[in-house]
């Protein structure tokens, strides 16, 4: 199991559009094969900064999603409003096990 965290910073006037896009696609992403959970979070201090936190069955499931038309369409819509380059982290589960 892996967790993917993506930080996205948006231009002020692009936030509403991003939230609309996310609302339209979140159920499809959650139902994508291998996706175990998905959350959208907003930075408490920087209101134009959002994080997606998703949990995937394995790296292959995440990669299959990243190659899908669902991801490509969603990402294309989101990136139009970016004010900075997004930052992504992929974390393994508890490595002590």
Q: Is the dihedral of CA 1, 24, 19, 80 positive or negative?
A: positive
Residue located via tokens 């990243």: 66
Q: What is the pLDDT of residues 69-92, one digit of tens each?
A: 999 999 999 999 999 999 999 999
Residues above pLDDT 70, as percent of the chain: 97
pLDDT of residue 97: 64
**How far, in Å, are 9, 38, 47 from residue 41 at the CA level?**
12, 10, 10
Task: Provide mean pLDDT across the span 22-38.
Answer: 97
Decide: 11 and 48 in contact? Cβ < 8 Å. Answer: yes
> How many C-beta atoms surround the C-beta of residue 9 within 10 A?
17
Q: Which domains does the chain have, with CATH numbers?
A: 2-91 (3.30.70.100)
């Amino acid at each position: 199991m892996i967790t993917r965290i993506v930080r996205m910073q948006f231009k002020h006037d692009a936030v509403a559009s991003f939230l609309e896009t996310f609302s339209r696609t979140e159920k499809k992403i959650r139902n994508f094969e291998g996706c175990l959970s998905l959350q959208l979070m907003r930075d408490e201090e920087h209101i134009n900064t959002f994080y997606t936190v998703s949990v995937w069955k394995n790296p292959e499931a995440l990669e299959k999603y990243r190659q899908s038309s669902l991801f490509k369409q969603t990402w294309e819509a989101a990136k139009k409003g970016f004010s900075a380059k997004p930052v992504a982290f992929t974390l393994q589960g508890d490595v002590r096990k």
